Structure 1
Amino acid sequence: MSAAVTAGAKPAAAALRGADSGRIRRRFEALKAQGRGGLVTFVTAGDPDYETALAIVKGLPEAGADLIEIGMPFSDPMADGPAIQASSLRALKAGMTLKKTLALVTAFRAGDKDTPIVLMGYYNPIYRYGVDRFLADAKKAGVDGLIVVDLPPEEDQELCIPALAAGVNFIRLATPTTDDERLPAVLANTSGFVYYVSIMGITGTRSAADSDIAAAVGRLKRHTDLPVGVGFGIRTPEQAATVAGIADAAVVGSAIVEKIVAGLDGQGKAKPGLVKDLLGFVAELAQGVRGAARKR
């Protein structure tokens, strides 16, 4: 568990050493050694159904995903845009639960012991599941980190501190409005990496200027030794390459989820070729990221 922040310190480094489950740290160390940024991909667990979602997740590492974020379906995903909101509703309609989400991670881990898995979502399903039970089950399943968008630092005792004690990274979001006065609180118990939300508003709506991203990453790096991943609004291999050349990773979510939508029939069922087409798109993103020239 990380110590309290002291003035002028880079607080997250202690949290990384104290609570990191290992896979996230090792993956970013490997990326640094390769001289490139990473690709983080997001899909919602159970979208459009459990078996299709599992096939997608299993195929992501070979397609080029360096880390995988898996959304925990929730009925009121307020920070997400239309594409990811709809993906949650499809998953819930197909019978997806938090327990099945952990089962999906367990099934993935049977064939992949190395790729970091981060669960992303909201606190309500975890609270209903039971924090202690959830953390124990998540750790057993092979979850490496959590992003819980509706728990601010003032509520760290609810989930963040218990997660760190359980050896599960707690990854915090920073935004364009997270100023230097607020950053120490945001970073105090953050571990794994920092997720910089490059635009204000909901996911998948627009993109930030490259110069703004570069300035924001530079500012974060002055406050923390943790890797910085940048997301929200990345839709093309070219955009992913640009961001991966600035930050430690580019995070792509809505554009991937929209590929799932494109592979559904009129009844919302997966058409033949959905998984192949989606993984082909991820491969294009990965090729862009791997060809990006580092700018720092």
Structure 2
Amino acid sequence: MTPPPFRRILVAVDASPLSQAATDLACRLSKRWQAPVDAVFVEDINIVRLVAHPFVHTISLAAARRQSADDTLIGKALELQAIAARRALDAALATTGGHGTFTVRRGRVEAEVLEAGQGCDLLCLGWSGRPDSRARRSRLGSVARAVSRSAAASVLLLQNPVTGPLFLWWDGFPPALEMAAALAAREGATVQVVVPAHDRIDGTRRGVEAVSALQELGVTAALHAVGRPAALPGTLPADALLLLSAEAEIVLDDLPCSALLVR
């Protein structure tokens, strides 16, 4: 019997809509694989330290004056965000019938997420980042980038709620293909294969081989596109989930959709 791809899932949470979407998806995967979900909310130590700086002030619009930053206000704001994130987790678990834990930590966000994720098979977090006005999408945030580079486990970066098709970026990394097959089998989805290649004939050959391998694993698959790596992200819809090797030669900022970096 093939072991489940995820035995334990970590989701990094805050009070943002994208965090809630990541929580919902983590709980869906938890239900599929009977894997517990560990949610972690990190109080950013950099914000806490910044408030303590003597030259940092807040501006009150109500009082129309500047005043020293109040660490109690920041603490209360972080507490309220943690409460909102906890409620989102509880609601998602109640919907899926899963189980999990919620932890609050304080420190550097990426370091705390990586430490909390030790022993997990999958780390889920929001794409975050600032909007790119030229591409009309957000650049990958610094925390997401650091975690995706340093995590020992696979990392799911959620840019948009995943409601669309499943894609496989096929560059010859078998674990990504096996993960795509496992997810497609549980979801009843078709795996759409995209092949980065400078030689279209060779890329098509490799794509057909990947489709055949997926079909041998019992899932429906089709060749979606073959082309230069820089051009392929433009063929992907925003609501899709793209599976690819964590070492794939691709600029994540170019992706319009969520990505699962497989290790």
TM-score (norm. length: structure 2):
0.28
Normalized per residue, the structure richer in helix is: 1
Normalized per residue, the structure richer in strand is: 2
Report the structure number with the largest CA radius of gyration: 2
